[in-house]
Structure 1
Amino acid sequence: MSHVRVRFAPSPTGYLHLGGARTALYNYIYARRHGGSFILRIEDTDPSRSTDEAIAQILASMREMGLDWDEGPEKPGPHAPYRQTERIEIYQQYVRRLLADGHLYPCFCTPQELEAERTAAQAEKRAWVYSGRCRELTAAEVERRKQAGEPWTLRFRVPPGKTVFDDLLREPVEFNNETIGDFIVQRSDGTVMYNLAVVVDDVTMEITHVIRGDDHISNTPKQILVYQALGAPVPHFLHMPLLFGTDRRKLSKRHGATKLEQLTAMGFLVEVVRNYLCFLSTEFDESMVDWSLEDLVCNFDVESLGTSPSIFDPEKLRWMNGRAIRSLPEEQLGERMVQYLQRIGFFADPTIAPPQLASGEVAVSAAPSAAQAELTRRLAPLVQEKMEVLADFCAIAGWFYHPLRIDERALARLRDTAAAERILRVAADGLRALDPFTAESVEELVRALPVALGLKPKAVFAVLRLGMSGQNVTPGLFESLSVLGRDQAVERLTTTAALL
């Protein structure tokens, strides 16, 4: 195989969608597996939707996934520039060449005339294909209409016959050129259309393999015709199945969090999302959850993908993520927890909730104090078995980071529990006098309380949990009291008792 060159070419209209992340991943794996080059190209020809902020976010998401590119933004190479808005003159050179060779012609058809053609085709229950009414205009007629100020586009002159291409996942794909019709390659404002720009980019960047979603299959014959008109080699194509939701509809906003940034903000580990996306259309077993990027390059063959739609199941992803969190060494989990909480602004606002994270409404990154960082490292192992995503930490252990908040609902539960105030005061007195105050001595004291009070352990422990935290789900009771320390534990229990 000649030197492989692949590309990922996102449109910078927002955060990196999961479908785009998977396309980038497959291109990266293919390039590294074959010792080739991975090119990042920005398709920003729509200025009304493209933003520099979105480009920056795409680059950040690529780096977070570990997908380093060989050429592209911030890594200029011999095929620069890598943004389409900076390649306009290059496109015009190829437009002039195709026009001179007779492959393009001016079209003066108005939107109203084209709509009339579509309406007639619909009435006759046939697919609409441009009629070619401007195909044979004389040079004199073209010049006359241009001088008259009529707006015009440029269309590609599709030759008769068939266009066939091999797809690395499929049998040969064949199109009758009569069903393609002469297509527009340059708008009336002079900007080029996708099917020309992408071919010019791939030709000039010497792309050998085009790996993309199967929604581009219909574009492929048009692009092949442009390659042939330019006398350029046609790359190999691999069209992967698209991502669908569990309702078997194309993945979109209605399916919830569908962008990489949303999932990582919710506390999904990026390597888990990456591996899940990688194996969506192929065989998978649990051991692959823990594969590194290097493992994927060495062991995953993009050409082994199936062709059926890939079903993105958030619940399966959560299961995989929980498994991965539980397998992390405690020290590593502590550091990742600190990094995650800093990223979502938790240390500045410990009340941040998962719904805010899913919508992207997170605060600006806020670094922890030394005490907050140390507290997080101590708590992470205590919460590890209860988490499916890192954001679960906020719900289970967020109360450690702010003064006691106990609402009327919690107080009503305590008031309905016999001897709740007595339980809290006896426990507070015992903890105040405990010496030494260690995890072991705290557990011994608390376990002895039910016997001393003549109550069931479950009832006593539930009161203490609610009294110290204001919530029903926390890390282990004994460990939580130990982490709080004598002063905080006593203060919280006595404060709650006073409210009863």
Structure 2
Amino acid sequence: MTAPTALPARVRTRFAPSPTGALHLGNARTAILNWLFARRHGGDFVLRLEDTDTERAVPRGEEMIYEALDWLGIAPDEGPREGGPFAPYRQLARADRHRARAAALLESGRAFRCYCRPDELEARREAAIAAGEPTGRDARCRDLPAELARRHEAEGREAAIRLRVDPGPVEFTDLLKGTLSIDGDDLGDLVLVRSDGRPTYNFAVAVDDIEMEISHVIRGVGHLSNTPKQVLLYRAFGVRPPEFVHIPTVLAPGGGKLSKRRGAAGVLDYRERGFHPDAVVNYLSLLSWSSEDGEEFLSREALVERIDLDRLGAADTEVDEEKMTWLSGQHLRAEPAGRLARDWAGRLDVEGLGLNDADLRRAAEVFAKRTRLLSDVASEVEPIYRAPETGGAAARESLSAPAAATAIRLARAAWADTAWRPEPLAAALRGAMRDAGLAGRTFFPPVRVALTGQLHGPDLGEVAYALGQERTLARLAAAMPSAPSETGD
């Protein structure tokens, strides 16, 4: 790892996906690190859509990208939706700028027109391979006489525009890999604009990063081979390159590259499964770096405060959904009850269960610890609010036990004037049990069945608190006639 460099006056990072499908976890990890680093240094996080691959573009591709970023809570400061001082933020819409930049390089002599047809270039490449010669450079048009150029144009040949690349080392620095170098002869004279007028990927990216004043390019290691080509373009324009950080690859569970074309789960699939968005941000951050104290459960604010590119790891990492699920549970427990209640409302049959906002808030206060995913609420919370008679026959049989009527009557009396909080309710119930001289296995089951129709479940103080005083006392009263009174000998 190289020594840290001084930050520029304004940190500007960018996330530049193609709208060719839903974001998978690898894309999202890149976006998160760019967002965190920009937030850490009071900078700007830019979304730029590299939409030139029109053949692979999918309907709603842009909308799905925004939907994923919004759910993760990392909306950009500038982008196609937000606008900004360096608009437009769609690469196709910047074609005129790319052509103007190419024309400037032609005028300065740093670029030249190449009239060779693709089939001619390929034939010469194959001949060089057969002869054991370098294939990177085909300089036939580098210093083409003007007369020959006019002849090609008269023949209707369209010219590509190439950058003059001199022999010798092309060096650049990556934060994780240090100083790297490749010989200019291995790169050859780079094509900037194809003969059909379309800019190449590396040229468009370099021009856009220059014009948008991007200070840090944080992207996947798969782009490492593009970097020397882009560095050459920065130098051709007389601009200092940004800091490059090529982060390791996120692998699918069991190994193998995540890929939209291989059906890797998209970020929005995790939303549908009920993962907490802060947990996904937390987890994906930890795939690349670790906090100094080794803490793994980190709030969004802590991640922003602690992000440090010098602590990035270089090893590829497999997705561990079990760990992400654990983190989701931790973030659910930390969620303010009111906000969690609103999240739960969309996953419960609120109308059918007769729940109001106060019910949901109380449930969130005491039952969040029983869930790891937002989708767990249906199995963990709904049974408590369903009518007790929906329970099984075995549970209802407990109401015919000799002490059932006494237990239910004492519970109702104990809770009639108790402060309606989980702890006092639990303490009052235990006191009633002791005063009656009953064992817990005799006392608690009929009370639980009277409230929920279940033989097992959360602490009864929490159950009563979540149900609310009116519902709790009504359910106990309704259960009492079905429980025979105790008789003594």
Give yes or no for the alignment of 1:315 onto 2:318.
no
Aligned to 1:171: 178
Aligned to 1:381: 365
Aligned to 2:32: 25
CA deviation vs aligned residue, 1:59-109 (integer Å, no higher than 9, x gap):
454455454644434544432222223212111101222334252433543
What aligned pairs does 1:412-431 form with structure 2 within 5 A after superposition? 422-423=397-398
- Quick one: distance in 2 between partners of 1:170 and 1:337? 43
CA deviation after TM superposition for structure 1 residue 286, in Å: 6.0
Equivalent pair of 2:98/2:199 in contact (CA under 8 Å): yes
Taking structure 1 as reference, are residues 460 and 205 closer, same or farther at Cα in structure 2, changes over 3 Å only? closer
- Quick one: distance in 2 between partners of 1:466 and 1:145? 89
Larger deviation, residues 72-81 vs 385-394: 72-81
CA deviation after TM superposition for structure 1 residue 447, in Å: 7.7
CA deviation vs aligned residue, 1:220-260 (integer Å, no higher than 9, x gap):
01111222222322222122222224434333469987544
CA RMSD of aligned residues (A): 4.8
Equivalent pair of 1:245/1:312 in contact (CA under 8 Å): yes
Query: The residue matched to 2:178 in structure 1 has which SS?
Result: coil
Aligned to 1:355: none
Give yes or no for the alignment of 1:300 onto 2:307.
yes
Give yes or no for the alignment of 1:88 onto 2:95.
yes
Taking structure 1 as reference, are residues 45 and 488 closer, same or farther at Cα in structure 2, changes over 3 Å only? farther
- Quick one: distance in 2 between partners of 1:258 and 1:432? 53
Taking structure 1 as reference, are residues 405 and 13 closer, same or farther at Cα in structure 2, changes over 3 Å only? farther
Equivalent pair of 1:467/1:492 in contact (CA under 8 Å): no
- Quick one: distance in 2 between partners of 1:149 and 1:27? 46
Equivalent pair of 1:15/1:54 in contact (CA under 8 Å): yes
Give yes or no for the alignment of 1:7 onto 2:7.
no
Query: The residue matched to 1:175 in structure 2 has which SS?
Result: strand
Equivalent pair of 1:268/1:321 in contact (CA under 8 Å): yes
- Quick one: distance in 1 between partners of 2:323 and 2:127? 46
Query: The residue matched to 1:95 in structure 2 has which SS?
Result: helix
Taking structure 1 as reference, are residues 467 and 282 closer, same or farther at Cα in structure 2, changes over 3 Å only? closer
- Quick one: distance in 2 between partners of 1:185 and 1:491? 80
Aligned to 1:338: 341
What aligned pairs does 1:254-403 form with structure 2 within 5 A after superposition? 258-284=265-291, 287-293=295-301, 295-326=302-333, 328=334, 332-342=335-345, 345-347=346-348, 371-399=355-383
Equivalent pair of 2:433/2:443 in contact (CA under 8 Å): no
CA deviation after TM superposition for structure 1 residue 313, in Å: 1.7
Question: What percentage of residue pairs aligned between the two structures are identical?
Answer: 31
CA deviation after TM superposition for structure 1 residue 175, in Å: 0.9
Equivalent pair of 1:268/1:389 in contact (CA under 8 Å): yes
Taking structure 1 as reference, are residues 258 and 129 closer, same or farther at Cα in structure 2, changes over 3 Å only? farther
Aligned to 2:421: none
Letter paired with 1:6: R
Aligned to 2:485: none
Aligned to 2:197: 190
Taking structure 1 as reference, are residues 314 and 120 closer, same or farther at Cα in structure 2, changes over 3 Å only? farther
Taking structure 1 as reference, are residues 397 and 88 closer, same or farther at Cα in structure 2, changes over 3 Å only? same
Query: The residue matched to 2:231 in structure 1 has which SS?
Result: helix
Query: The residue matched to 1:172 in structure 2 has which SS?
Result: strand
Query: The residue matched to 1:164 in structure 2 has which SS?
Result: strand
Aligned to 2:114: 106
Give yes or no for the alignment of 1:72 onto 2:56.
no
Give yes or no for the alignment of 1:234 onto 2:219.
no
- Quick one: distance in 1 between partners of 2:259 and 2:332? 27
- Quick one: distance in 2 between partners of 1:193 and 1:64? 32
- Quick one: distance in 2 between partners of 1:116 and 1:402? 77
CA deviation vs aligned residue, 1:2-52 (integer Å, no higher than 9, x gap):
313322123233444333333233333433444544333232223444578
What aligned pairs does 1:427-446 form with structure 2 within 5 A after superposition? 435-436=412-413
- Quick one: distance in 1 between partners of 2:263 and 2:241? 38
Taking structure 1 as reference, are residues 36 and 460 closer, same or farther at Cα in structure 2, changes over 3 Å only? closer
CA deviation vs aligned residue, 1:104-138 (integer Å, no higher than 9, x gap):
433543469738956995x89x8994562764565
Equivalent pair of 1:129/1:180 in contact (CA under 8 Å): no
Taking structure 1 as reference, are residues 434 and 118 closer, same or farther at Cα in structure 2, changes over 3 Å only? farther
Greater relative contact order structure (CA < 8 Å, 6+ sep): 2
Taking structure 1 as reference, are residues 15 and 431 closer, same or farther at Cα in structure 2, changes over 3 Å only? farther
Please identify the structure whose Cα radius of gyration is greater: 2
Aligned length: 456
Aligned to 1:353: none
Equivalent pair of 1:396/1:475 in contact (CA under 8 Å): no
Letter paired with 1:321: S
- Quick one: distance in 2 between partners of 1:493 and 1:133? 96
Letter paired with 2:322: E
Equivalent pair of 2:12/2:215 in contact (CA under 8 Å): yes
What aligned pairs does 1:187-226 form with structure 2 within 5 A after superposition? 187-226=194-233
CA deviation vs aligned residue, 1:429-465 (integer Å, no higher than 9, x gap):
98699855766699679989xx99x997699679949
Equivalent pair of 2:137/2:187 in contact (CA under 8 Å): no
CA deviation vs aligned residue, 1:293-346 (integer Å, no higher than 9, x gap):
2x33433311221222234322122222323333x2xxx54323223235xx42
Letter paired with 2:370: K
Taking structure 1 as reference, are residues 403 and 54 closer, same or farther at Cα in structure 2, changes over 3 Å only? farther
Letter paired with 1:78: P
Equivalent pair of 1:214/1:242 in contact (CA under 8 Å): yes
- Quick one: distance in 2 between partners of 1:204 and 1:96? 16
Can you give the 5+ residue segments of structure 2 that lack an aligned partner in the other structure?
A: 1-5, 417-424, 483-489
CA deviation after TM superposition for structure 1 residue 166, in Å: 1.4
Equivalent pair of 1:169/1:304 in contact (CA under 8 Å): no
Taking structure 1 as reference, are residues 156 and 317 closer, same or farther at Cα in structure 2, changes over 3 Å only? same
CA deviation vs aligned residue, 1:239-287 (integer Å, no higher than 9, x gap):
2222224434333469987544333433333233223322323334564
Taking structure 1 as reference, are residues 184 and 442 closer, same or farther at Cα in structure 2, changes over 3 Å only? farther
Letter paired with 1:388: R
- Quick one: distance in 2 between partners of 1:476 and 1:115? 78
- Quick one: distance in 2 between partners of 1:226 and 1:388? 49
